[in-house]
Amino acid sequence: MITLNISNKLPKIVNLYLLIKILFIVFLVSVPFIFIPKNVWHYVFWLIFIFIGLPSYISIVLDFKYISFIVEEGRITIKSGIIAKHSKTILFNNVQNVENTQGILARIFGLVAIKIWTASSQNSKTDNRADGTILLKKADAEWLKNFITKK
């Protein structure tokens, strides 16, 4: 096993990032109700927040809290799950592409989603998803991308 320059847990800023993202979505969902009386719109907003936004936020935060990764010589293992535990090992020699994506809100918080694509047949469905995705601070994501692609 090698020594990591980065933490194997997600950054604490992810909680604030996710909260703002959920609040923005709740606001967008409640916008069509702006044209109804003001006191009713407030109730609609809070109902949407309580029954959709808050459970979504709790679910996403718990998902991110229970994800970790271990970088070893020649592979990365991503562990996740609250009730059902999942572990996925990606061999560096199977990696086809490592992609760093950063939306506007993630850029404000200095976060980057690193997506690892492999040539494995595990994802042979047409869903076209990355084999592994980790949300990291920008510098850590760049380091991990360079580390994986050099192998």
- Cα dihedral angle (42, 13, 117, 62), rounded to 10 degrees? -60
For range 139-145, the mean pLDDT: 87
136 within 8 A of 6, measured Cβ to Cβ: yes
pLDDT bucket at 3, cuts 50 / 70 / 90: very low
Instruction: Give the domain ranges of the chain.
Output: 13-63, 69-150
Question: Given a cut of 70, is residue 2 above it in pLDDT?
Answer: no
The model's pTM? 0.67
Helix (H, G, I), strand (E, B) or coil at 107: helix
Residue range 5-53, pLDDT digits in tens? 455 556 677 778 888 888 888 888 877 777 777 777 778 878 888 888 8
Question: Given a cut of 70, is residue 100 above it in pLDDT?
Answer: yes
